[in-house]
Copies of this chain bind each other. A is one copy, B any other.
Amino acid sequence: MSNIREHILQTTCNLMEKQGYHGTGLNEIVKESGAPKGSLYHYFPEGKEQITAEAVWQSGRMTAKRIQNGVSGGSNAAKAIHDFILNIADHVETSGFAAGSPLTAVAMETATKSERINLACREAYTLLETAFKEKLLESGFTKTKAEELGTFITATVEGGIILSRTYHSGNPLRTVAKHLKVLLSQ
């Protein structure tokens, strides 16, 4: 796959995790990525919607992988999930308060405005929920419980990201990590 194409997608992720969908312009993506300006519509003939949908989807796949690889042994979901969230907390602070993924902002902005992007966001969230669920299954949770907790954990992390970005501090995410660990260790 083209290098430039990948780089445009990565830049889109980086910008949208700070500014969201409407707050990020195509001119900004071109400029920031350093990609040849004429090539944007060559690689993404369907424009901004296509770029965003692909960026969201790719970001979801990468985040899910990070959850899966959290603890290789897989015997302790509580610790794996705890560490995963602490990593996001650090990232928020070291990146100038980026969200770690474009998903949170883009999902909110486009939920009722673009069917295509909304579909990509659903798929991305389902990947995250499933990754958490698998971790919990490995640790001995029942199927129903693992499924519901997968949703619960995803919601809590997303909300923690919003609070940490708003307060310009990783602490809300750290509080979330701490209490999720207690909940999952019981």
B154 touches A159 (CB 8 A): yes
B122 touches A167 (CB 8 A): yes
Residue of B nearest to A19 (CB): B113
**Of B20, B23, B96, B155, which one neighbours A162 at CB under 8 angstroms?**
B155
Residue of B nearest to A150 (CB): B175
A160 to B165 CA separation, bound complex (whole angstroms): 17
What is the copy number of this chain in the assembly? 2
B111 touches A165 (CB 8 A): yes
A109 touches B113 (CB 8 A): no
Residue of B nearest to A128 (CB): B163
The contact string, 1 if C-beta is below 8 Å from chain B, for chain A 120-137, is 011001000000000000
Chain B nearest Cβ from A24, distance in angstroms:
9
A175 touches B151 (CB 8 A): yes
| Chain A residues packing against B (C-beta within 8 Å) | 18-23, 96-97, 99, 104-105, 107-109, 111-113, 118, 121-122, 125, 148-149, 151-152, 154-160, 162-163, 165-168, 172, 175-176, 178-179, 183
